[in-house]
């Protein structure tokens, strides 16, 4: 007969007897308690198979037999085999690094079991490779999780765990132009590790952007509209430059950025004392993750 499922249930077998005897009946002799409640009709033998859910997952099917007896016939042994629970599938992770800047990485982590708890973190490749094994890194993480906080209260593993899919979350980084690992492994709040190995994804942070601007001249006393060229080295995809106007210098105004240029207007400086030094102000060009660039503007006073 076919292999019975883990959950068990009622089983019915068909049978036939060649040359049956008048008034004779089949007698059943069971061998194991987990196969019981036999009933025999003219053409079927029915019985109940108990659940095998308590068996070790992944173990071999359990087996027994019962004997069907009939007068003047050889006994018939019927073998009953029942599956054990399947071994739970190992927890796995799908890691994706979507976008990387010098100080951030947008990442996703999709676990194979949405209910599982796990650690998701980033680490410099050089630091990661200092650990002798995945187990050594995990033990170090758990030790760090359990360290007392600044208030003296003991650490809690659960505070460092996540679950479910994490889609395009931001991990903050310290170094540009360095190799990092995004890594994940299964961990329960009691410290039980639920994955045999760490899943990791290597990525590299790009160089930090910088702003280079041309040296402005001394602008004429009459004022007017002018421009200063600039460029962004190591640009970040999708990022844009901005310009901040000067503080408390209303004569420098109407600043705009267009195609690598800052366009601005200077009011006339004709009211200044003839022969004075040029008046000075500045505006600031900013760009994500770059140091701001201050551009000094000098405007001449009337000549003597």
List, run by run, the mean pLDDT of 10-residue segments along the chain (304 residues): 93 93 92 95 95 92 95 93 89 96 96 95 96 95 91 89 95 96 96 93 97 91 96 94 93 94 96 94 95 96 92
The kind and range of the H/E element at 284 are strand 279-286
Closest CA to 297 of 251, 231, 260: 251
Distances (CA, A) of 51 to 28, 70, 212: 21, 30, 75
Are β-strands 166-172 and 162-163 bridged in parallel, bridged antiparallel, or unpaired?
unpaired
The kind and range of the H/E element at 146 are helix 134-146
Distances (CA, A) of 168 to 68, 109, 115, 176: 64, 8, 19, 20
- Return the ∠ at Cα 61 (arms to 55 and 63), rounded to 5°: 105
Q: What count of residues does the chain have?
A: 304
Is 205 within 8 Å of 101 (Cβ atoms)? yes
Predicted confidence at residue 27, as pLDDT, reads 95
Predicted confidence at residue 59, as pLDDT, reads 92
Predicted confidence at residue 71, as pLDDT, reads 93
Q: Which residues contact 90 (CB under 8 A, 6 or more apart)?
A: 112, 195, 196
Structure-block tokens of residue 109 = 């982590």
* Torsion sign over Cα 185, 191, 194, 196: positive
Predicted confidence at residue 217, as pLDDT, reads 87
Kindly report the backbone phi and psi dihedral angles of residue 181, in degrees, each rounded to the nearest multiple of 5, phi listed first. Answer: -110, 130
Q: Partners of 284 in the beta sheet? A: 244, 294
Predicted confidence at residue 118, as pLDDT, reads 97
Predicted confidence at residue 80, as pLDDT, reads 96
Predicted confidence at residue 121, as pLDDT, reads 96
| Alpha helix ranges (H) inside 72-124 | none
Predicted confidence at residue 247, as pLDDT, reads 86
Structure-block tokens of residue 12 = 């019915």
Biggest distance spanned by C-alpha atoms of the chain = 142
């Amino acid at each position: 007969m076919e292999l019975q499922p883990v959950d068990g249930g009622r089983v019915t077998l068909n049978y036939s007897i060649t040359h049956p005897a008048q008034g004779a009946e089949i007698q059943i002799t069971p061998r194991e308690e987990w196969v019981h409640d036999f009933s025999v009709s003219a053409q079927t033998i029915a019985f109940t198979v108990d659940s095998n859910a308590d068996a070790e997952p992944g173990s071999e099917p359990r087996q027994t037999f019962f004997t069907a007896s009939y007068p003047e016939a050889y006994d018939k042994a019927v073998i009953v085999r029942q599956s054990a629970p399947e071994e739970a599938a190992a927890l796995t992770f799908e890691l994706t690094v979507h976008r990387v800047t010098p100080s951030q990485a947008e990442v996703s982590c999709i676990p194979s079991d949405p209910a599982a708890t796990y650690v998701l973190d980033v680490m410099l490749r050089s630091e990661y490779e200092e650990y002798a094994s995945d187990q050594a890194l995990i033990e170090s993480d758990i030790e760090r999780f359990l360290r007392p906080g600044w208030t003296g209260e003991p650490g809690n593993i659960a505070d460092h765990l996540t679950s479910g899919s994490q889609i395009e979350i931001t991990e903050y980084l310290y170094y540009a132009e360095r190799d990092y690992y995004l890594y994940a492994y299964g961990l329960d709040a009691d410290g039980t590790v639920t994955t045999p190995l760490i899943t990791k994804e290597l990525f590299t942070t790009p160089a930090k952007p910088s702003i280079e601007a041309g040296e402005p001249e001394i602008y004429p006393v009459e004022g007017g509209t002018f421009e200063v060229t600039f460029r962004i080295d190591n640009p970040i995809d999708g990022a844009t430059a901005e310009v901040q106007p000067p503080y408390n210098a209303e004569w420098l105004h109407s600043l705009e950025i267009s195609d690598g240029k800052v366009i601005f207007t200077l009011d006339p400086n004709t009211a200044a004392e003839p022969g004075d030094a040029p008046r000075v102000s500045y505006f600031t060009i900013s760009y994500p993750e770059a140091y701001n660039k201050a551009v000094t503007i000098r405007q001449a006073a009337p000549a003597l």
